[in-house]
Structure 1
C-alpha cells in the first residue's frame, strides 16, 4: 500500500504548524498536549529521541482533539512501536527505499523526509505525494523548496528544521507547502518550568498563520 494521502492530508492540514516535540517527562505529557491543543495546534509530532518517548506518545494520545504521531522513525521496529503506542501518523528524517517498503505493512501513514529532487522523485514513484523537506534551513530554505514546485507539481511538503515563527510565514506562502514543522512552539526551558500557559500562547500565535 502506498502512502494514505487522504488521511495524511487531513492530518497535516488541521493546523499550519506541527510542533516537533522532544519530551521525556511522562507526568507532564498530557499537560503539554492539552496546552498545544488549546492553542489550536492539534497535530503533534513526538520524536523517538528520548527513553520515554513512546510513553509520552501514549499519554498525549489520550488528550481530546490531539492527533499524535511519532518522529525520527528510522526502522520498521520504530513504526510498529509507534502504532502500538497509539500514533496516528509517523515522520522519518529520510526516505530510504527499505523504510518506505516497510511502511506498507503499517496501518498508519508515513511522512518521509527528503532533501533533494532526486529523493522526492524516488518517493513519488513509490506512491508518496506528501513529504517532509528536511533539514529545511540547512538545505537552502524556502528558495530551494520554491524551486521544487514547478518540476514536482504533484508533491506537497512539510518543511522542518531551523524554522521559527518568521521563517514559517515565508514557507507557508509557497504553493507546495501544506504546513511546517517546528520546535519553537515547545521550548524546553518553558516546559521544564511548567509554564503551560506560555506554551498555549505560543501555539495560538502559530495557529493564526495560514498555509
Structure 2
C-alpha cells in the first residue's frame, strides 16, 4: 500500500539529477544511510535516464519521479517503468491522466479547493507544497478538520530542525526534503556526509 510505503520512508529526498552516475552514487549513499525511497525530479535532461539507472542498480529502493506536471510527463514516466510520481501542483488534465495511468500518484495542493479537486479524481494522499510558506504545521492542523481522510506529504522549507514536528502530525504520512542531497554535497562527491545525513533523518531522535 502506498501510504504504508511512504510512512516507512519517513523522508523522501528530493533529488535533481545532474547526470546518471552521480545520481546512482547519491542514491546508493542514501540507501546505505537507511533511506528506502528517493524522488528524482524531472527538472533536467538526465532525469529519466537517472530514474531508470537507479531502479536497475538499487532494486530495493522505491524510486519516484517528481515534478511530473503534464499528462505527457505522466506517459513518459510510465514508459520508464516508474511506479510512483509526484507533482508540485495539479490541473484537471494532469489529475485525470494520473488517475488513468498504471502508477501511484501524489498530486500537489496548496489550498482547500486544490484538495477538493484532487479528491474528485480519487486522490487522498497529497503533497502540500510549499509547505512552510503556506503555513506549515498550522495549516496542516487546520486542514485536518474539513478533510479528516486526507493524508499529506509536506514538502518545501522542511529541514533537520523542523521535519520531525511535521511527522508527528496525525495527517502527515511522510515529508519531502533536500537538505541531505544539497548540491554542495553532490557536486563534491561527499557521499559519506550524505549517508550520515540520511541516517540522521531516519532516526526517531
Q: Distance in 2 between matches of 1:87 and 1:122?
A: 24
Tell me which residue corresponds to 1:157: 152
Tell me which residue corresponds to 1:85: 80
Distance 1:136 1:189, change over 3 A: same
Q: Distance in 2 between matches of 1:84 and 1:32?
A: 24
| Residue from 19, 24, 46 that aligns with 1:25 | 19
Q: Which runs of 5+ in 1 are unaligned?
A: 1-5
Deviations 1:104-139 (Å, cap 9, x if unpaired)?
331111100001112112211221110000010111
* SS of the residue 1:45 aligns to: strand
Q: Distance in 1 between matches of 2:83 and 2:195?
A: 22
How many Å apart are 1:37 and its aligned residue?
1.0
| Residue from 191, 196, 206 that aligns with 2:186 | 191
Q: Distance in 1 between matches of 2:105 and 2:64?
A: 9
Tell me which residue corresponds to 2:35: 41
How many Å apart are 1:165 and its aligned residue?
1.2
Tell me which residue corresponds to 2:95: 100
Relative to the length of structure 2, the TM-score reads 0.95
Count of matched residue pairs: 204
Relative to the length of structure 1, the TM-score reads 0.92
| Residue from 7, 10, 18 that aligns with 2:4 | 10
Q: Distance in 2 between matches of 1:142 and 1:187?
A: 24
Q: How does 1:130-169 map to 2 (within 5 A)?
A: 130-169=125-164
| Residue from 58, 64, 69 that aligns with 2:59 | 64
| Residue from 105, 109, 116 that aligns with 2:104 | 109
How many Å apart are 1:14 and its aligned residue?
2.2
Check the 8 A contact 1:69/1:82 in 2, yes or no.
Answer: no
Q: Which runs of 5+ in 2 are unaligned?
A: none
| Residue from 44, 65, 70 that aligns with 1:50 | 44
Check the 8 A contact 2:125/2:151 in 1, yes or no.
Answer: yes
* SS of the residue 1:107 aligns to: coil
Stretch deviating more after TM superposition (77-86 or 41-50): 77-86
* SS of the residue 1:30 aligns to: helix
More helix per residue: 1 or 2? 2
Q: Distance in 1 between matches of 2:204 and 2:150?
A: 21
* SS of the residue 1:177 aligns to: coil
Deviations 1:23-56 (Å, cap 9, x if unpaired)?
2211222211111111111111000001111111
- Runs of at least 4 residues of structure 1 off by over 6 A? none
Check the 8 A contact 1:16/1:207 in 2, yes or no.
Answer: yes
| Residue from 112, 120, 126 that aligns with 1:125 | 120
